[in-house]
Amino acid sequence: MKNKRIVVFIPKKYESYIDEEISLVKTVYGDLDEVYIVRNPNPKTYIQQDKLEALSKDPPSKLVVMDILKPSQVTNILRKVNTEVVDRVLLILEVFVLHAGSREALLQIELARIRHTLPLIKDLIRKSKIGELAGFLGPGRYGFEKYYTYLRKRESRIRRELEEISKVRKIRREKRFREGIPQIAISGYTCAGKTTLFNALTGRNMPVGPEPFTTLNPKSARIYINGVHAIVTDTVGFIRDLPPEIIEAFYATLEEVLASDIIILVVDSSKPVARIIGEIETSRKIFNEIGVQGKPIILALNKIDSIGKEDLDKIVKEVLSYYNGFAKVVPVSAAKNVNIDLLKKEIASIIKGI
């Protein structure tokens, strides 16, 4: 019953992560029909002219570009090809929608989408004013202006509602703080096994899965380990080049990381070591961007059931030579329950020292 054709363009800079980029697109659209690598993006249209020419004769149902497109590039593509253009920001937001389980998550996604769409509508209005738009975009100016006003209003309504939700969360957090219970945030790259570890530490049964961004709403649970109480919070995963619009929109989720006393940074150690280090780097960069400073970070090298002892030794060595400021480095398997007790012991000893 397949009647849609999905064409995907991936920039050369992501060639070595192509599996991850394709898995993001597949999560939303299922099977892909054509995947192209873009070596030199065209400044006006991103995609090369001859390719656009061919697509204009036989438009796909979606044209996905796994990069951040400038508004003018989107409108220039739309002037040639009658299709829906989805860039990496919109695509990641669509992945988020699939997993969003709360009103807050949905509002955050909508806000990010609006922030991403407003400059595009502005560009369309500007081009229609100077008569640059022809064909199916041509007569749209009045519609674009109305749509722009609508989006601006919707944006401020969402912001107000999100502020309310954030206040409630803050009150809850302050209550825990008053009760003196240390907060532990489980953080890290998407699919690293954060929720599996959360379940292993808390005995809960939150959904886990191989597809990116399974978890979108932070979940907290109380634990009692080695004589100390703590609250563990699972969080949304990171990805390389997370667009700034998304970082801001998900600030409420990351607030839990910012407010924590200890961070457990989970990484998937079954990946090649260069990627492990890349993921740690991305995570530390995001911690910096949201203002995390001076907190003890435990590095949990997860999925050690999938690697050999020698691989593990090599990973530990290379990770430490890249950065040795972690409070502890603990190899674990969250799924197979390996070293979870050791991790609990390390958490407890850090808490006792706070």
Ligand X SMILES: Nc1nc2c(ncn2[C@@H]2O[C@H](COP(=O)(O)OP(=O)(O)OP(=O)(O)O)[C@@H](O)[C@H]2O)c(=O)[nH]1
Q: Does 196 contact Mg ion by CB under 5 A?
A: no
Query: What whole-number distance in Å separates Cα of residue 301 and Cα of residue 6?
Result: 36
Q: Which residues inside 264-283 make contact with ligand X, applying CB under 6 A? A: none
Looking at the Cβ atoms of 73 and 339, the one nearer to ligand X is: 339
Using CB under 5 A, which of 215, 217, 235, 283 touches Mg ion? 215
Of 113-121, 209-217, 291-299, 314-322, the segment contacting ligand X by CB under 6 A is 209-217
Using CB under 6 A, which of 27, 190, 202, 233 touches ligand X? 190
Of 45-53, 121-129, 152-160, 301-309, the segment contacting ligand X by CB under 6 A is 301-309
Q: Does 214 contact ligand X by CB under 6 A?
A: yes
Using CB under 6 A, which of 23, 42, 166, 306 touches ligand X? 306
Looking at the Cβ atoms of 5 and 219, the one nearer to ligand X is: 219
- The DSSP annotation for 124-183 comes to HHHHHHTT---GGGGGGHHHHHHHHHHHHHHHHHHHHHHHHHHHHHHHHHHHHHHTT--E
Side-chain-side CA neighbours of 275 within 13 Å: the count stands at: 16
Closest CA to 111 of 69, 166, 54, 156: 156
Type of residue at 322: Y
Using CB under 6 A, which of 11, 193, 243, 296 touches ligand X? 193
**CB 131 to ligand X: min, Å:** 47
Using CB under 5 A, which of 195, 235, 283, 302 touches Mg ion? 195
CA 329 remoteness from chain centre: 24
Q: Does 214 contact Mg ion by CB under 5 A?
A: yes
Closest CA to 235 of 187, 294, 172, 168: 187
Count the site residues for ligand X by CB under 6 A. Answer: 23
Looking at the Cβ atoms of 192 and 297, the one nearer to ligand X is: 192
Query: What whole-number distance in Å separates Cα of residue 276 and Cα of residue 177?
Result: 33
What are 184's two structure tokens?
């532990």
Query: What whole-number distance in Å separates Cα of residue 101 and Cα of residue 87?
Result: 24
* Residues that bind ligand X in the complex, under the rule CB under 6 A: 190-196, 208-210, 212-215, 237, 302-303, 305-306, 333-336
